Amino acid sequence: MGVRRKTEWSEYKIQQILRKFFLSESTKKYELCNLFVYNWESDYLAITRSGVAYECEIKISKQDFLNDSKKHNKHLIISEGRLPEGRPNYFYYAVPEGLISAEDVPEHAGLIYVMEYGIQYIKEAKKVHDGKFDYEQTKLMDKLYYNYIRYRDLYKESDISSLKKEIIRLQKQIIDYDDMLSERVCEIDELNNLIKRHNIEC
């Protein structure tokens, strides 16, 4: 059996997995990453068609999580804030499998383990309010517009070297997926051999 390579987690990688597995395409209306919708930057924020907001705080190391737990004002706003437009309906931590436990997170927060091919709910988040997402109060359209302008300008200023780096990153991803595919093929071969041996012995 091939040796399983350790996954190198990044915020971006977890965001991509959340995009794919956190909510169904028919449920979500918007998915936003690294945007100041509230009084802090949301790593991942999903807003459903019915106006319910789910925020996922992404942590890739235990120290990263411990640093976030010191942000008392943020968690006080989420758990006890008076204004619905200033906080999501549900708040989760999304972390690599086994990084922290359900006992580590605040009472209002949920916990999701992120794995290579999916997510697992370890603790369901508490619903902190019933209000619907307020597009006017949060000025979401303005924020999306300014973000669009910023990234459009960054794209215009990008040079050949940054594009080459992106190509290298994508090539590395392809190699990683090829390695994983090879491992799966080896595992299948071993299982087939095991079945053959079992049939012969019987």
Distance from C-alpha of 16 to C-alpha of 199, rounded to nearest angstrom: 43
Based on the fold, state whether residues 65 and 135 are members of the same structural domain: yes
Co-location of 78 and 25 in the same domain: yes
Kindly state whether residues 31 and 92 are assigned to the same domain: yes
Please state the domain count of the chain: 2
Predicted model pTM? 0.70
Burial label for 125, CB within 10 Å (0-12, 13-18, 19+), is buried
pLDDT in tens, 133-182: 988 888 887 877 777 776 666 666 556 667 777 778 777 777 776 777 77
Based on the domain organization, do 86 and 179 belong to the same domain?
no
Per-residue pLDDT tens for 116-138? Answer: 889 999 999 999 999 999 888 88
Examine residue 169 and state whether it is found in any structural domain, yes or no: yes
For residues 102 and 202, state if they share a domain: no
- Residue 153 falls within a domain, yes or no? no
Residue 133, C-beta contacts closer than 8 angstroms, at least 6 positions apart: 47, 51, 52, 53, 85, 140
- Is residue 74 a part of any domain in this protein? yes
Q: Are residues 135 and 172 in the same domain?
A: no
| Full domain range(s) for residue 16 | 11-139
* Residue 2, in any domain of the structure: no
